[in-house]
Structure 1
């Protein structure tokens, strides 16, 4: 059996703000929100965790990115997601900026590091690097 990364979890300072960012940025890549969880022991509990996955892979078992509310947010993590096309990378970058993200690297080719690929990197609201990369 091959080893592969199953999912990434980031702890966020403001779940609503981060959810809006990830809905936009990941939505541009074709991912959607598939799970929202609150405390199961409380009636009308606030949402504490949100997960995104491909629409045809719904549910927590297939979620690739989780955001959970916490007092010590994750910062400095670098997550790279494969995009289908250069246009998707550009849409990801634009959507992330419109949703409160900051540009780390605008969409471009990286011939030194990644021959034949096109990517963009943004900072999420807590300072994590979220990258989209596509073949050229």
Structure 2
């Protein structure tokens, strides 16, 4: 559906470090970077772009798809180690669906970052 998503961050260096480390388990890497801005992608087709903003960014809920549950677990550990605040440990969310396995972390600007796997446990 999306080609790219762009949002502002209040501390570019902190957000850059957080997102690179937190999303590494999903294979997300730097595609391009310029002063105050970075583009990240795992497939080269859809990208996430962070830009330094002088305004306080509105809180977002960003959900990334994982191909297996181990990636959800690895994301949660990496995001916490990168300074994120736990907002829901890895686990099934039966109120969403029987296979919805997700973890949630609050990032540097208060964004709710989620990684979800819709596959059954392998």
TM-score of the superposition, structure 2-length normalised?
Answer: 0.91
2:24 is matched with which residue? 27
Provide the rounded CA distance (Å) in 2 between the counterparts of 1:48 and 1:31: 19
1:109 is matched with which residue? 92
Q: Determine helix, strand or coil for the equivalent of 1:36.
A: strand
Are 1:14 and 2:2 an aligned pair? no
Residue ranges of structure 1 left out of the alignment (5+ in a row): 38-46
TM-score of the superposition, structure 1-length normalised?
Answer: 0.82
2:33 is matched with which residue? 36
Runs of 4+ in 1 over 4 A off after TM superposition: none
For 1:67-87, what per-residue CA distance to the aligned partner results, in whole angstroms no more than 9, with x for missing partners? 100111323211111001111
Are 1:65 and 2:62 an aligned pair? no
Provide the rounded CA distance (Å) in 2 between the counterparts of 1:73 and 1:130: 17
Residue ranges of structure 2 left out of the alignment (5+ in a row): none
Mark the structure with the bigger radius of gyration: 1
Give yes or no for contact 2:72–2:116 (8 Å, CA) kept in 1: yes
Q: What is the aligned-residue RMSD (CA, Å)? A: 1.3
2:110 is matched with which residue? 127
Give yes or no for contact 1:17–1:125 (8 Å, CA) kept in 2: yes
Give yes or no for contact 2:93–2:102 (8 Å, CA) kept in 1: yes
Count of residues paired in the alignment? 119
